[in-house]
Structure 1
Amino acid sequence: MTAPLHEARTAGSGGARATGPGRALPDTQQGMRRRNLARVMHTVSAGGPVSRAAVASRIGLTRAAVSTLVDELIRWGLLDELGPERPGRVGRPGSALAVSGHGPAGLGAEVGVDHLAACVVDLRGEVRARAVRHGTNRGRSPVPVTRELTALIRQVVAEAEGQGLWPAGLAVAVPGLVARDGRTVVRAPNLDWHDTDLGPLLPAAYPLTVDNEANFGALAELWLGEGTPRDFLHVSAEIGIGAAVVVDGQLLRGTRGFAGELGHVPVQPEGPACPCGGRGCLEQYAGEEAVLRAAGLEPAGDRVGLLARRAAGGDEEVRRALSAAGTAFGVALTGAVNLLDPEAVVLGGALAGLAPWLLPSLEAELAGRTAGPVCPVSVSRLGPEGPLLGAAHSVVRAVLDDPAAVAGHG
């Protein structure tokens, strides 16, 4: 996992950047100019279409200074001038600015246990191309998996280039521990990958960042969620279970970058063996395959859909299995909530589709075990799309953070 890209707004991972992960722009005149360019980009991105005068008012610079910065960003193709603002405003109308729908874009990809995916997101945050391949990756060598992922990446890049976009970087979400170099998968038990450097296996044309899927899911929730607080615990799941801790809008990564391995928190110390080497881990009670086993069902292509359909149809065995999984989640989350005191817990990934049957027992367990006030639990509207969107948006955020780094490229 990589260190934060930018200090002032939130942590993330992404490609196009000149200063390197976690490094602030230099405290020089040139550094100040680049920071101001970033402030203009973020302001237009968050509130556009908006006039130059409005941008100047919001960031506290003179209109002349903002106009110079805007002209530069327009020349680079990062901002568009849309013409006069809407009528009805007092005074002389200004020209409305918007982030360009062409030029640099975020390229995101995901390696899941049972799928691969890639997408391109423009600077406005719109998904412009997307491709998915379903099929198990468990136990497969990284070489054929990344070869197939590369084919998906090239497919969405070709589609995006046809729309006037070019990737400013590539960010890849994986279900495992990632080293701080931002490219080496140290351990992914459900893939059976160990110490795998993805750099040589993926297209070399783009700056690469690899990160844990739960981290990208949490960042997507922070950036794209509605009303998401700046302090929360994000939990996601498919075959495995991951979590990410966001504190004051930044990921809490831990010394080695491995923070958030909720799925390997033991809920029954003498329970069944886990691929991680431990026993009684949460994944053995609340992962998709564990719930299917408890419900007496065979794994299917759409595991979550199968469980949700059965539960909605009144299948009591499935409902009991989901309730037991919710209880296991509650036990594991209680320790995290008591330790970290987050403002909220957000359920993402596959959990979002099963929330109606997981939440009652999960919330009851939290209420009975939490030392302080009960921590609210919400369901992500992004669902299983979170990690892929977070990966692509991390590259977009990197461009917004340092637009000068991509000037002249493409």
Structure 2
Amino acid sequence: MTASTTPVRQSSVRAHNLALVLQTVANSADPISRAAVAGATGLTRATVSALVDDLIAGTLLTEVDPAPRSGAGRPAAGLRPAANGPAGLGLEINVDYRAACVVDLTGTVRHHLVETGDQRDGREGLFELAHRARHLAEADGLITAGVALAVPGLVTAGGIVRVAPNLGWQDVTLGTHFDGLPLIVDNEANLAALSEQDTGELPPSFVYVSGEIGIGAGIILDGALYRGVRGWSGEIGHIPVDPAGPLCRCGARGCLEQYAGQEAILRAAGVPTVADLPGADLSAAGTALGTVLATVINLLDVDTIVLGGIYAPLLPALRPAISAEIGRRVLTAGWSPIRLRAATLGPDAAVRGAAGAVLRGILNDPAGWLGRFATR
């Protein structure tokens, strides 16, 4: 192995250590002392103390009073993420609703706004909703650190939505900033998968399936989001169930969305709204979904499928047919059962994941936030 000849700058070391300290505090279930942070990170107490002072000054950490104890000596103050510092503003647009969510650095949802109605030409309304959410956050004394938007489509790294068939979007440029704030644009199933991962209740590898009018998947492998070569992985809604089936909005025939998407399920059940579905016969949708999920499982060798969106509350009705197809089609199902789980965050997973994407950026690069904070 050839040693790197690139010198490590002092600023890079500091940035790394700031992230290490902040993440150690954020990942601690209880307030943690400076001495305990030093022990967990291997940094000296003096270094940790200086870094913590910077993080407190930058509104990223706060000190809390220690719990009383009976032993000798003065108990050390605990550290935890600041509840009234930076917050992430998450947005989601789908065919029949838009949503905004403000989450602070402790992971607490401070505001959650939802507007229903046809969103196929809803960009202007979406950003009006974002302004409302930002004003609510700032009225709470929070600093909006950035915005992330969850979209049901293929998104490039530069914030271009190449195609979102159900919205009728193609090559829509949303850019990298909104209202002077950094803007992240990502696929809604990817963001929902990351949000579910953050609950700490799932194994390192799983597939999250978002059931709305469209169907997408977020793939987590060994703890990391799998995006594919171009960032467009997870479009399982356009895997064919029957190549001669009904025409899909994407231009192909027989896609999964035409059998197990929200509109297809409502049509087959003969009911007008999702609220009317519990108790309906969903075997046809479950069979189609199970057929495609079996293909995904055979390909990726995951043992956990998380069903989100409208699928989460409908899992009891969908499960028998899904399980039957997986049992029939997955080669290893006989000795390695597949776990089907409803999403913990239900229909809010994507918008919360969007807000979480902003906060994840701060946790990974607190030095960048401190630089921005200093120039406010």
Which residue matches 2:310? 350
Q: Distance in 2 between matches of 1:85 and 1:57?
A: 20
Deviations 1:280-314 (A, max 9, x none): 1100000111011111233xxxx322212xx1xxx
Q: Distance in 1 between matches of 2:113 and 2:71?
A: 44
Which residue matches 1:119? 101
Q: Distance in 1 between matches of 2:244 and 2:66?
A: 69
SS at match of 1:348: strand
Which residue matches 2:3? none
* C-alpha contact 2:303 2:337 (8 A) present in aligned 1: no
1:194 aligns with 2:170: yes
Q: Distance in 2 between matches of 1:41 and 1:86?
A: 25
Task: Specify every segment of 5 or more residues in structure 2 that has no aligned partner in the other structure, as ranges.
Answer: 1-6
Which residue matches 1:173? 150
Which residue matches 1:288? 262
1:374 aligns with 2:349: no
Deviations 1:6-50 (A, max 9, x none): xxxxxxxxxxxxxxxxxxxx9432212111111111111121411
Report the CA distance between 1:85 and its aligned residue: 4.0
Q: Distance in 2 between matches of 1:179 and 1:284?
A: 26
Which residue matches 2:19? 38
Would the alpha carbon gap of residues 157 and 290 (structure 1) be closer, same or farther in structure 2, given more than 3 Å must change? same
Which residue matches 1:14? none
Q: Distance in 2 between matches of 1:90 and 1:276?
A: 70
How many residues get paired? 363
1:107 to 55, 78, 89: 89
Report the CA distance between 1:400 and its aligned residue: 1.0
Alignment of 1:242-281 (within 5 A): 242-281=216-255
Q: Distance in 2 between matches of 1:179 and 1:330?
A: 30
Report the CA distance between 1:199 and its aligned residue: 2.4
Report the CA distance between 1:205 and its aligned residue: 1.2
Q: Distance in 2 between matches of 1:227 and 1:326?
A: 25
Alignment of 1:215-230 (within 5 A): 215-224=190-199, 226-230=200-204
* C-alpha contact 1:109 1:170 (8 A) present in aligned 2: yes
2:77 to 77, 91, 95: 95
Deviations 1:86-131 (A, max 9, x none): 4246754111111111121111101111011111111001111222
Q: Runs in 1 of length 4+ with deviation above 6 angstroms?
A: none
Range with bigger deviation, 347-356 or 56-65 = 56-65
Which residue matches 1:360? 320
Code of the aligned partner of 1:153: A
Which residue matches 1:306? 276
TM-score with structure 1 setting the length: 0.85
* C-alpha contact 1:304 1:354 (8 A) present in aligned 2: no
SS at match of 1:110: strand
* C-alpha contact 2:60 2:85 (8 A) present in aligned 1: yes
SS at match of 2:181: coil
Q: Distance in 1 between matches of 2:143 and 2:125?
A: 21
Which residue matches 1:21? none
Code of the aligned partner of 1:286: A
* C-alpha contact 2:205 2:221 (8 A) present in aligned 1: yes
Report the CA distance between 1:266 and its aligned residue: 0.3
* C-alpha contact 2:297 2:303 (8 A) present in aligned 1: no
Q: Distance in 1 between matches of 2:59 and 2:86?
A: 9
Code of the aligned partner of 2:171: D
* C-alpha contact 1:99 1:123 (8 A) present in aligned 2: yes
* C-alpha contact 2:266 2:274 (8 A) present in aligned 1: no
Deviations 1:312-347 (A, max 9, x none): xxxxxx21xx11111111100111100100131111
Code of the aligned partner of 1:307: L
Q: Distance in 2 between matches of 1:37 and 1:193?
A: 40
Which residue matches 2:139? 162
* C-alpha contact 1:238 1:287 (8 A) present in aligned 2: yes
Deviations 1:180-227 (A, max 9, x none): 22x111101111110000128x73311011011100110001112x42
* C-alpha contact 1:304 1:353 (8 A) present in aligned 2: no
Task: Specify every segment of 5 or more residues in structure 1 that has no aligned partner in the other structure, as ranges.
Answer: 1-25, 312-317
Indicate the percent of aligned positions where both proteins have the same amino acid. 49
Q: Distance in 2 between matches of 1:229 and 1:153?
A: 33
Q: Distance in 1 between matches of 2:71 and 2:225?
A: 41
Which residue matches 1:406? 369
* C-alpha contact 1:347 1:380 (8 A) present in aligned 2: yes
Would the alpha carbon gap of residues 27 and 233 (structure 1) be closer, same or farther in structure 2, given more than 3 Å must change? farther
Code of the aligned partner of 2:183: L
Would the alpha carbon gap of residues 365 and 68 (structure 1) be closer, same or farther in structure 2, given more than 3 Å must change? same
Q: Distance in 1 between matches of 2:294 and 2:74?
A: 57
1:327 aligns with 2:301: no
